[in-house]
Amino acid sequence: EDGYALWLRYAAPDAGAAGPSATRVTQLVVAGSPGVPSATREELQRGLAGLQGGAPANGDAVTRAGALLVGTPAASPQIARLGLDLDGLGGEGYRIRSAVVDGHATTVVAANEDIGALYGAFHLLRLLQTGQPLDGLDIREAPRLAVRMLNHWDNLDRYVERGYAGQSIWDWHRLPGWLDPRYTDYARANASIGINGTVLNNVNANADVLTPMYLDKVAAIAGVMRPYGIKVYLSARFSAPMEIGGLDTADPADADVQRWWRTKADEVYALIPDFGGFLVKANSEGQPGPQDYGRSHADGANMLADAVAPHGGIVMWRAFVYSDEEPVDRAKQAYNEFVPLDGTFHDNVLVQVKNGPIDFQPREPFHPLFGGMPKTPLMMEFQITKEYLGFSTHLAYKAPLYEEVLDADTHVQGPGSTVARVIDGSLDGHALTGIAGVANIGSDRNWSGSHFDQANWYAFGRLAWNSDLSSRDIAVEWTRMTFSNDPAVVEPVVGMMMASREAVVDYTGALGLHHVMGRGHHYGPGPWVEGGPRADWTSVYFHRADGNGIGFDRTRRGSDAVSQYAAPVAEVFDDVTRTPEEFLLWFHHVPWSHPMRSGRPLWDELVLRYDRGVETVRGMRETWAGLDGRIDAGRHAQVAAFLAIQQDEAQWWRDASIAYFQSISGRPLPAGVAPPPHPLEHYKALEFPHAPGDTQ
């Protein structure tokens, strides 16, 4: 076991443990011809062979009890005769039914389109892998969101920005001649969780990817993805018409520029008829964009949207923007720039918004753009890679973070106006909907750099399919498929996962602290970071600690960021007594003595949270040590080693942060709390010039 198989191990039941389902499939009938149905048949054969210790017979029609029948009514007369109601399932939905087919007890996976049948097949394999019985099934599933995609921040030289799992999996040099089998396994894994799109290259884009040489390579990847229902997309560099097109402007109002993009889109679609479209980062962190020509984000997005529209393509325009001028409060910027443009984007544009207003911190309140642009379909952007949560060595299961944001209530149309309902279009009546996760995938054998980081990829896909799933249920599912169905493994592992993200919040800075990490690489603590090119790239800008207190005043008396939320939410965040404590220092500057709900002063509470975080990691490590012998030695050893690293680094975060904040608060540590072993200068002097994933 080296982790390569991900959650698709299809392992036969371990002797003695409560294993996968005892139900046996005796015959496999997958209706349909090459393409998606072949991929479906191969996956079921592979899965059943592993789970049952031998593949069942293949057939064209059900002829015996215990058969599995998969397909569409159009491809299978037996499915058509069942007359199952498939209305409302769309192309990607499916039904799984226990039925009698021509006198034989059969499990039926039926869908309107082949891709729905593939998703249903993966669902069935999940049932078998997690030991569910196959009788009496009546399942109806359809995804809530239309576009469920990964964003790779992969450069063409295979360097992955904020990637901690080796190089890019896209081997541009050997493409298109060599199709690494890993591409197929990547497609299988994504299809198994319902992901239907992938942006191959970094949002900090290189225009070369749009040249004929690279487009041939992109087309080759698209060919591998197609049988798995995955569309390929590219990040487009806004200045590409100048860099590879020989024009002297990229002004979206310029007729030559518009023509260049239309011709480029035609060229792309001639090679890749099902190409998804473009993702764009513009006028942000030095990237070119329409504002360079005095045009708006909408002008830029609409020009590209018009180029791909004749082919059915879409444009995802990112709202993660930075103006050249330093804002009074960086948290307010995207809202200020985008809300005035609401209603001006063309129909095939999605505005892609990060989950919170700053940048993928271990905890942020939901982004105020959700609910703030009712006339524009907004797409969620989560980070799967752990830029701010300890890279790949720290165990942090991110599903609780995703769930917290999706469940957050914007109140824009009264209670129940959750972020999930903003992005699934139900609140404002949008049909074009989507979600993106910044991938944590690389060339490492185990794909994600650590075994537990696979769970974040898995959970992202599951929540993209159905935002109502609970992060705990997803953890259970993943653990059973990835490690074991043995309850003596599942319970402790799920316990570790569910505590892990809060532990990271605690040891990196709880109670609403944010952006307190090392400069540039974002590895380890850096609450002292100040100076440099922009104030809003420093830590002191965000925590604002001084002798009197700490926190960023975003109330009406401060930066007034609270007013970007709907009134009921704004009132809560504006009121120091009502703001949830996990966001206290995000919205308020309070004295060190501020009374907390625990009865302790803020300073004491903060210190105790640092200790609690370290303590949780120590407990996770102990739990994992107790699983020795229940989990294969290779994976057990790597996780154990990583947890040891995490414990050391949690301690480092705790010690350095306490040393720093104590130098400012001047307050004694609460009774019984150990002082940091070194003076502050020691922590400040630690340097990591080569931490992975930093911007090149």
* Catalytic residue set: 285, 359, 387
Q: Where are the alpha helices (DSSP H) in 376-486?
A: 399-407, 419-423, 453-465, 471-482
280, 236 in Cβ contact below 8 A?
Answer: yes
Rounded to whole angstroms, the Cα distance separating 512 from 605 reads 12
Is residue 161 a contact residue for ligand BDP (CB under 6 A)? yes
Least distance in angstroms from the C-beta of 394 to ligand BDP? 17
State which of residues 162, 231, 462, 621 lies at the interface with ligand BDP (CB under 6 A): 162
Identify any residues that bridge with 434 across adjacent strands, giving them in sequence order.
147
Residues near 129 by Cβ (< 8 Å), separated by ≥ 6? 7, 9, 10, 20, 47, 51, 480, 481
Q: Please identify, using beta-carbon distances, which residue of 160 and 490 lies nearer to ligand BDP.
A: 160
Largest CA distance in the chain: 81
Which residue of this chain has its Cβ atom nearest to ligand BDP in the complex? Answer: 359
164, 210 in Cβ contact below 8 A?
Answer: no
Rounded to whole angstroms, the Cα distance separating 656 from 636 reads 30
380, 436 in Cβ contact below 8 A?
Answer: yes
Q: CB-hemisphere CA count at 13 Å for 235?
A: 25
301, 280 in Cβ contact below 8 A?
Answer: yes
Task: Tell me if residue 344 falls in helix, strand or coil.
Answer: coil
Site string for ligand BDP, 283-322 (x = CB under 6 A): --x----------------------------------x--
Task: Tell me if residue 414 falls in helix, strand or coil.
Answer: strand
Rounded to whole angstroms, the Cα distance separating 1 from 267 reads 44
Rounded to whole angstroms, the Cα distance separating 26 from 45 reads 11
Distance from first CA to last CA of the chain, Å, rounded?
34
Is residue 68 a contact residue for ligand BDP (CB under 6 A)? no
311, 345 in Cβ contact below 8 A?
Answer: no
Least distance in angstroms from the C-beta of 522 to ligand BDP? 7
Pairing state between β 27-30 and 197-199: unpaired
Least distance in angstroms from the C-beta of 478 to ligand BDP? 25
State which of residues 43, 154, 387, 574 lies at the interface with ligand BDP (CB under 6 A): 387
Looking at residues 199 to 258 of the shown chain, list those that interact with ligand BDP (rule: CB under 6 A): 203-204
Is residue 281 a contact residue for ligand BDP (CB under 6 A)? yes
Angle at which helix 453-465 crosses helix 399-407, to 10 degrees, equals: 30
Sign of the Cα pseudo-torsion (530, 613, 482, 449, in order): positive
Q: Please identify, using beta-carbon distances, which residue of 320 and 586 lies nearer to ligand BDP.
A: 320
Name the residue type at position 318.
Answer: R
Q: Please identify, using beta-carbon distances, which residue of 327 and 601 lies nearer to ligand BDP.
A: 327
Rounded to whole angstroms, the Cα distance separating 653 from 171 reads 36
Least distance in angstroms from the C-beta of 383 to ligand BDP? 7
Least distance in angstroms from the C-beta of 321 to ligand BDP? 9
Least distance in angstroms from the C-beta of 159 to ligand BDP? 12
Q: Please identify, using beta-carbon distances, which residue of 80 and 691 lies nearer to ligand BDP.
A: 691
Q: Please identify, using beta-carbon distances, which residue of 283 and 454 lies nearer to ligand BDP.
A: 283
Q: Please identify, using beta-carbon distances, which residue of 183 and 360 lies nearer to ligand BDP.
A: 360
Q: Please identify, using beta-carbon distances, which residue of 318 and 332 lies nearer to ligand BDP.
A: 318
Least distance in angstroms from the C-beta of 270 to ligand BDP? 30
341, 305 in Cβ contact below 8 A?
Answer: no
- The structure tokens 């990060």 sit at 354
Q: Please identify, using beta-carbon distances, which residue of 19 and 368 lies nearer to ligand BDP.
A: 368
Q: Please identify, using beta-carbon distances, which residue of 320 and 458 lies nearer to ligand BDP.
A: 320
Q: Where are the alpha helices (DSSP H) in 60-113?
A: 77-82
Distances (CA, A) of 343 to 11, 251, 296, 338: 51, 22, 13, 10
Is residue 159 a contact residue for ligand BDP (CB under 6 A)? no
State which of residues 58, 323, 336, 695 lies at the interface with ligand BDP (CB under 6 A): 695
Taking residue 578's Cβ as centre, other Cβ atoms within 10 Å add up to: 9
CA angle 471, 316, 142 (to 5 degrees): 45
Rounded to whole angstroms, the Cα distance separating 337 from 96 reads 46
- The structure tokens 């669902």 sit at 123
Is residue 691 a contact residue for ligand BDP (CB under 6 A)? no
Q: CB-hemisphere CA count at 13 Å for 603?
A: 23
Q: Please identify, using beta-carbon distances, which residue of 577 and 696 lies nearer to ligand BDP.
A: 696
- The structure tokens 């009921």 sit at 568
Q: Please identify, using beta-carbon distances, which residue of 14 and 359 lies nearer to ligand BDP.
A: 359
29-53 burial string, b = 16+ CB within 10 Å, else e?
bbbbeeebbebbbebbeebbebbbe
Q: Please identify, using beta-carbon distances, which residue of 451 and 515 lies nearer to ligand BDP.
A: 515
Looking at residues 430 to 449 of the shown chain, list those that interact with ligand BDP (rule: CB under 6 A): none
Least distance in angstroms from the C-beta of 381 to ligand BDP? 8
Site string for ligand BDP, 612-631 (x = CB under 6 A): --------------------
Q: Is 531 left (phi over 0), alpha (psi -120 to 50) or beta?
A: left
Least distance in angstroms from the C-beta of 272 to ligand BDP? 25
Task: Tell me if residue 368 falls in helix, strand or coil.
Answer: coil
Distances (CA, A) of 190 to 147, 187, 233, 379: 13, 5, 15, 19
Looking at residues 343 to 382 of the shown chain, list those that interact with ligand BDP (rule: CB under 6 A): 359-360
Least distance in angstroms from the C-beta of 537 to ligand BDP? 10
**Which residues of this protein are in contact with ligand BDP, per CB under 6 A?**
161-162, 203-204, 281, 285, 320, 359-360, 387, 695
